[in-house]
Structure 1
Amino acid sequence: MKGYSKPLILILSVLAVDQLSKFWIKLNMTLGQEYKIFGDWFIIHFTENNGMAFGLEFGGETGKLALSLFRIIAVIGIGYGLHYMIKRKYHRGFILNVALIFAGAMGNIIDSTFYGVIFSESTWFEKARLFPAEGGYSSLLHGKVVDMLYFPIIKGNFPTWFPIWGGEDFLFFRPVFNVADSAITVAVALILLYQKHYFKEEVVEPASYNSEVVED
Structure 2
Amino acid sequence: MDTTTQKQASTRKRWMVATAIILFVLILDQIIKYLVKTNMQLHDHIDITSWFQILFTENKGMAYGMAFSGTWLLTIFRLITIIPLFWILTRIIKKHLPMGLVVCLSMIIAGAIGNIIDNCLYGLIFTESYPEYLGMPIAHVVPLGQGYGHFLDGKVVDMFYFPLFTWPQWVPILGGKVFFNAIFNFADSSISCGAIALLLFYSRFFHIKQKEE
- Cα shift readout 1:162-214 (whole Å, capped 9, x = no counterpart): 2xx16x4121120000000000111111112113675799xx9xxxxxxxxxx
Q: Work out the CA distance in 2 between the residues paired with 1:134 and 1:96.
A: 35
Secondary structure of residue in 2 paired with 1:73: helix
Return structure 1 stretches of 4+ with deviation > 2 angstroms.
195-201
- Aligned in 2, Cα 1:133/1:143: closer, same or farther, shift over 3 Å? closer
Shift of residue 133, structure 1, vs aligned partner: 8.8
Correspondence 1:37 to 2:48 = yes
Normalising by structure 2, we get a TM-score of 0.84
Match for residue 23 of structure 1?
34
Larger Rg belongs to: 1
- Aligned in 2, Cα 1:56/1:15: closer, same or farther, shift over 3 Å? same
Percent identity of paired positions between Structure 1 and Structure 2: 39
Amino acid at match of 2:47: K
Q: Work out the CA distance in 2 between the residues paired with 1:199 and 1:64.
A: 30
Secondary structure of residue in 2 paired with 1:3: helix
Alignment check: 8 A CA contact 1:120 1:132 kept:
no
User: How well do the aligned residues superpose, as a CA RMSD in angstroms?
Assistant: 2.2
Alignment check: 8 A CA contact 1:149 1:178 kept:
yes
Alignment check: 8 A CA contact 1:91 1:198 kept:
no
Match for residue 177 of structure 1?
184
> Among residues 114, 121, 126, which one is paired with 2:128 in the alignment?
121
- In structure 2, stretches of 5+ residues that fail to align are 1-11
Secondary structure of residue in 2 paired with 1:37: strand
Secondary structure of residue in 1 paired with 2:47: strand
Correspondence 1:52 to 2:62 = yes
- Aligned in 2, Cα 1:133/1:139: closer, same or farther, shift over 3 Å? closer
- Aligned in 2, Cα 1:66/1:131: closer, same or farther, shift over 3 Å? same
Q: Work out the CA distance in 2 between the residues paired with 1:109 and 1:147.
A: 13
Alignment check: 8 A CA contact 2:128 2:139 kept:
yes
1:37-186 aligned at under 5 Å gives the runs 37-38=48-49, 40-59=50-69, 63-125=70-132, 126-131=137-142, 135-159=146-170, 162=172, 165=173, 168-186=175-193
Q: Going by fraction, where is helix more abundant, 1 or 2?
A: 2
Shift of residue 109, structure 1, vs aligned partner: 0.3
- Aligned in 2, Cα 1:199/1:169: closer, same or farther, shift over 3 Å? same
Q: Work out the CA distance in 2 between the residues paired with 1:97 and 1:133.
A: 34
